[in-house]
Structure 1
Amino acid sequence: MKSLNINNITRVSLILLIGTMSLVSSCKKGYFYEGINDDPSQLKDPVPSSLLPGIIQSTGYLWGGDASRFTSLFMQQVTGIANQSISANRYAVSADDVDNMWTAGLYGGGIMNNTNSMLTKANEMNQGHYAAVAKVLMANNLGLTTDLWGDVPYSEAFKGLGVLQPKYDTQQQIYDALDKLLDEAITSLGTPDGSAFQPGAEDLMFKGDLDKWLRFAHSLKAKFYLHRAKIDRNFYDRALLEVPQGFLNGEHASVLFAGTSLPTENPWYQFNNQRGDIGFTGHIYDIMDATGDPRLAVYSDGAEGLGTLYGNSSSPVVLMSYDELKFIEAECQFQKLAQNRAAAANAYNAAVTANLLRTINNPAYAATVAKTAATITMTDIMTQKYIAMFLNPEVWSDWRRTALPALVAPPGSALGGALPRTLLYPSGEQRNNSNAPRNTSMLKRVWWDVP
């Protein structure tokens, strides 16, 4: 698997990372840092370069942690075999279960609060490219948040003591905000900002390569346009305009883990070592085994454990990749109003090849599942994307949009034989924010998930 080299991270940036990750403490009564305790070991008035590594690393922990576990259980890429994971496997996920992901992970003392701080500081210091990187990271994580829950706080979410109970913006408003964030980032990344301070070694994802951040932004725009195509099919064409400006062959946005100590270990590795209540069996393994898919050897250890690709202490967490972008292209070409099956087949074949190169560095299997204009189907596209996107939360969004792959709820499902379509709002929000929507059911659809 092609990846960036973590060995060039300096000792200084590791110290900054650890300091930044503990910079903001969790607070369930508002999305801010109260600063009750004055800890002299913490960074004071941090600059964007000191905030960036912690934001990236925390993003990897969340995407490879709770966000991955819940969605992969829902999508039968893994199976709960003990403790709380058995309940989640039956789709019995409570408001308490998701509270930590929301409060400590995304809001409160989490990723988006720190990203907003980075953006504010970058603007104050006229560091335009740091501000642009912050906008891409905000869009990436805000997009995940709204896709998991629907309506979420954003416009009032980071106001500190002034707004302890932020309003919930509609998902449509959130998607408009994603557009704005990414458009502004794209404009900024494509031009000089006049600052002597530029992202560098502390950028744990792209090492200061602004062209890669630019292509990541375009790739995200393609993904978010695809989500909206269930409402308006013209968004397929809008997504297709972004694809050529997105990731190049072999590129991906990945968060790396050194794996040398507990704070630097891959989140799935940590979970499996500490909890061990998820088995790596399920629908995805059945279809891969039935077709002799060689990726099974790195997805699974052959004994219901996670394989070497994503299960080692130093395994990366992939946020988005070139192969995902090509699957987006394939779906858009197949589904758009002026369908182009030949282009869909070409993009699909390229996506499968790219994923095989990324995961096992051997594209030979692509010929086994290759399609032509005459044979390509949506089932082909979404089944191979389901396999390629192993453990990525986007698989749940794909299923809600397409109902593919065809999954059957496990015995004893808490949702009466249906599969979940949203998470419940966390218990802390239910207690402390009067603007929080009341929980009804995990069958509630988000805005873009029209019947």
Structure 2
Amino acid sequence: MKILKYSFIALAIIATSCSDDYFDVNSSETAPTTSGLAPQFRIQGAIENTTGTAQYRGAREIIGVTQYAAHHTKAYESNSWTNNLTTGSYFFWQNAYVYALPNTADLIVLGKKYNSPNYTAVGKILRAYTFGMTTDQYGDIVTKDTYDGESNMNITPKFVTQKEAYQTIFTLLDEAIAELQQPSSIGLNVEGGDVLYDGDQQKWIRFAHSVKARYLNHLNKKTSGDMAYNADAIIAACEAGINSNALNAQQDFVGGEAENQRQPFAVGGYGSSRFRYFSTFFVNLLKNPLNLAVPVEDPRLSIIVPEAVNGGYVGLDVGRGLDGDPATKYSAGNGGFYTSPTSPTYMMTYSEVKFIEAEARFRKNDLTGAYTAFKEGVRADMEKLNVPSTEMNTYLSLLDAKIGATNIGMSAIMVQKYIANMLNPETWVDMRRMDYSAAIYPGLKRPINVNLDIFPGSDEWIQGMLYERNEEDRNYINMPSNDPLIRLKTPLWWNTSEQ
């Protein structure tokens, strides 16, 4: 990955509310910034703001909700479902709308201006991806009234329902797939800016199909209407999607001194202070991911969690904090496969595509096909993590013996997908779709010290995020209710049977 050198858009009136943004490197304005530019000089900024600001921040703020990590203080917001999450001091919304989405809008406009539909297509894919992450954390979002690269920024935009947001996502992806098959005057990588796929339009097409499969798969509770769950459509999208680890959509890092050269969750990275320790739930899951009476440790454990404590791996309970215990009692959350300075940020992987396919085939009662896709997803993730072939083959044989097509179930699929999608905010979607079920995720329980003022019932789980205070202050007329008792506890549209 190159050091960032391209223009980024930001709203000064929004950006000044947060001084520690990952890519806060340029001045801000509300007017379009496409004048005098060509799309090849904007593609890198569009990609890296999608991952480095939007996806990273979306993952950081829910890291205790997804229970990959635990913080050393018990009151940390995503551990206890309080503070930033309940007061609106949560900047994923800002990072999406101030940094990521304006760059995608400019890329779309410049692609049209320079007769390069490939750039317009990439802008639409990244735009769909960012809209998807945003609506999956908030519900109703802004799509039509946000910055479009041609008009001045509207600071009081209208919101659309999540259903409408999903319709926009699918439209953007379908248009992008078509546009990537059209001739373009400028190659995607003529300036080295395509840091995702090096200008390979066919890989972008497969990425777009994969993203479409992800969002179609979220509709599993929709049984009728124009957005009803369609397993065959999901499987078709998977088959047209990412088909090897070589096509994984990932942002690479060189491990340099600059913040944007390092994995955000690594030591010295922007988010390292948020990822203090691996959680008890995650560590224990890796110790017995097949939920066997006689535990069998996953060979990925020592690769993901590099620090053994007193001869083993010890996670910290989410929400408990150290509470006087020495930090050396717990496995530190850095230095592993996902948390080293050169660790990539994965947008979407081959293994996720196979787990999506496995779920769709399982739901249509194709158990043999579901197991085949499931096993390939596990194999792909182990290869991604460079698990030694002997250990990998032993584990895959164990899957045949203990699961196979006869015993394949949703728990096996979702546990392996949880492991493979570490640090991806998509995991929170899965946990909510699965109703936070301990039958699906063995050992899952609410954090210690959870905010009982909002979640008094033992069966209540966090469902969404509050909109940021600056959005509420500026656009309260248009935005939905931001009452924590509503926003944090109401299931999103895709998590209900409502059409």
Q: How many residues align?
A: 424
Which of residues 208, 213, 230 in structure 2 aligns to 1:235?
230
Distance of 1:240 and 1:439 partners within structure 2: 37
Q: Is the 8 A contact 2:54 2:100 kept in 1?
A: no
Q: Does 1:155 align with 2:155?
A: no
2:348 corresponds to which letter in structure 1? M
Pairing 1:97–2:83 present = no
Deviation of 1:25 after TM superposition, in Å, equals 4.4
| 2:63 aligned counterpart, secondary structure | helix
| Whole-angstrom CA distance in 1 between matches of 2:58 and 2:195 | 21
2:355 to 297, 302, 327: 327
Match of 2:10 in 1: 24
Assess, with a 3 A threshold, how the Cα gap between structure 1 residues 412 and 264 changes in structure 2: closer, same or farther: same
Partner of 1:202: 193
Q: How far 1:64 sits from its partner (Å)?
A: 5.5
**Distance across 2 between alignment mates of 1:279 and 1:117:** 39
Say which structure is richer in helix. 1
Q: Does 1:386 align with 2:386?
A: no
Q: Distance in 2 between matches of 1:206 and 1:165?
A: 36
Distance, in Å, in 1 between the alignment partners of 2:169 and 2:55 is: 22
For 2:336 and 2:93, locate their aligned partners in 1 and report how far apart those are by CA, in whole Å: 29
Please tell me whether residue 46 in structure 1 is matched to residue 37 in structure 2. Answer: yes
Instruction: Tell whether the 8 Å contact from 1:172 to 1:447 is kept in structure 2 after alignment.
Output: yes
Change beyond 3 A, Cα 1:68–1:244: same
**Alignment match, 2:314:** none
5 Å-filtered alignment, 1:13-162, equals 14=3, 17-21=4-8, 23-28=9-14, 35=29, 45-62=36-53, 65-82=56-73, 86-92=76-82, 93-98=85-90, 100-103=91-94, 105-108=95-98, 110-158=99-147, 160-161=151-152
- Report the counterpart of residue 273 of structure 2 in structure 1: 275
2:372 is the counterpart of 1:343:
no
User: Structure 1's 166 and 273: CA in aligned 2 closer, same or farther, altered over 3 A?
Assistant: closer
In structure 2, C-alpha distance between the alignment counterparts of 1:240 and 1:284, rounded to whole Å: 29
Q: Under a length normalisation based on structure 2, what TM-score does the superposition of the two structures give?
A: 0.80
Alpha-carbon distance in 2 for matches of 1:273, 1:87 = 14
Structure 1: distance between partners of 2:371 and 2:271: 41
CA shift in 2, pair 1:231/1:273, >3 Å: closer
Aligned 1:280-359 pairs, distance under 5 A = 280-290=278-288, 291-302=296-307, 303-336=331-364, 339-359=365-385
**Deviations along 1:94-136, whole A, 9 cap, x unmatched?**
34331x2212x1112x100111111112112221111011111
Distance 2:468 2:450 in 1: 21
Q: What is the CA distance between 1:202 and its match in structure 2?
A: 1.0
Matched position secondary structure for 1:218: helix
Displacement of 1:252 after TM fit? Answer: 0.6
Kindly report structure 1 stretches of 4+ aligned residues shifted beyond 4 Å.
271-274
How far residue 66 of structure 1 moved from its aligned partner, in angstroms, is 2.3
Q: Structure 1 residue 36: deviation in Å?
A: 8.4
Q: Secondary structure at the match of 1:318?
A: strand
- Determine the C-alpha separation between the residues in 1 that align with 2:13 and 2:244: 42
In structure 2, distance between residues paired with 1:267 and 1:215: 27
Using the TM superposition, give the Cα deviation of residue 43 of structure 1 relative to its aligned residue in structure 2, in angstroms. Answer: 9.4
Give, in angstroms, the shift of residue 346 of structure 1: 0.7
Percent identical: 27
Equivalent in the alignment of 1:425 = 467
Determine if contact 1:63/1:392 at 8 Å carries over to the other structure: no
Corresponding residue for 1:449? 495
1:139 and 1:205 map into 2 onto residues whose CA distance is 16
Amino acid paired to 1:324: E
When structure 1 is superposed on structure 2, of 226-235 and 392-401 the one drifting more is 226-235
After superposition, the Cα gap between the structure-2 partners of 1:378 and 1:35, relative to the gap in structure 1 and judged at 3 Å, is: closer
Partner SS state of residue 136, structure 2: helix
1:367 aligns with 2:397: yes
Partner deviation per Cα, 1:20-46 (whole Å, 9 max, x = no partner):
24x43443399xx96389xxxx99633
Q: Letter of the 1:437 partner, please give it.
A: P
Q: Name the CA shift for 1:120/1:445 in 2 (closer, same or farther; >3 Å).
A: same
* Counterpart for residue 176 of structure 2: 185
3-state DSSP of counterpart to 1:71: coil
Partner of 1:256: 252
Q: CA deviation at 1:413?
A: 1.2
Q: Deviations over 1:31-78 (max 9, x none)?
A: xx96389xxxx9963321111111212222235632112333102111
Deviations, residues 371-426 of structure 1 (Å, cap 9, x unaligned): 32211111111111111111111111011112332521122211233221111111
Report if the CA contact (8 A) 1:356-1:366 is conserved.
no
For residues 182 and 26 of structure 1, the distance between their equivalents in structure 2, rounded to whole angstroms, comes to 30
Q: 1:3 maps to what in 2?
A: none
- Structure 1 CA distance for aligned equivalents of residues 14 and 264 of structure 2: 24
Give the direction of change, closer, same or farther, for the CA distance of 1:101–1:162 in structure 2 (3 Å limit).
Answer: closer
Q: Is the 8 A contact 2:379 2:396 kept in 1?
A: yes
Judged with a 3 Å threshold, the aligned counterparts in structure 2 of structure 1 residues 29 and 388 are, in CA distance, closer, same or farther, namely closer
Distance 1:165 1:312, change over 3 A: same
CA contact (8 A) 1:19 1:43 kept: no
Partner-residue secondary structure (3-state), 1:319: strand
Q: Is the 8 A contact 1:82 1:277 kept in 2?
A: no
**8 Å CA contact 2:276, 2:334 repeated in 1:** no
Most deviating of 420-429 and 58-67: 58-67
2:157 maps to: 166
3-state DSSP of counterpart to 1:392: coil
Provide the rounded CA distance (Å) in 1 between the counterparts of 2:371 and 2:129. 28
| Structure 1 residue 272 displacement after superposition | 7.2
Structure 2: gaps (5+ residues): 17-26, 289-295, 308-330
- How many angstroms does 1:192 deviate by? 2.2
Deviations 1:258-284 (A, max 9, x none): 221223111111457863663212311
For 1:162 and 1:234, locate their aligned partners in 2 and report how far apart those are by CA, in whole Å: 36
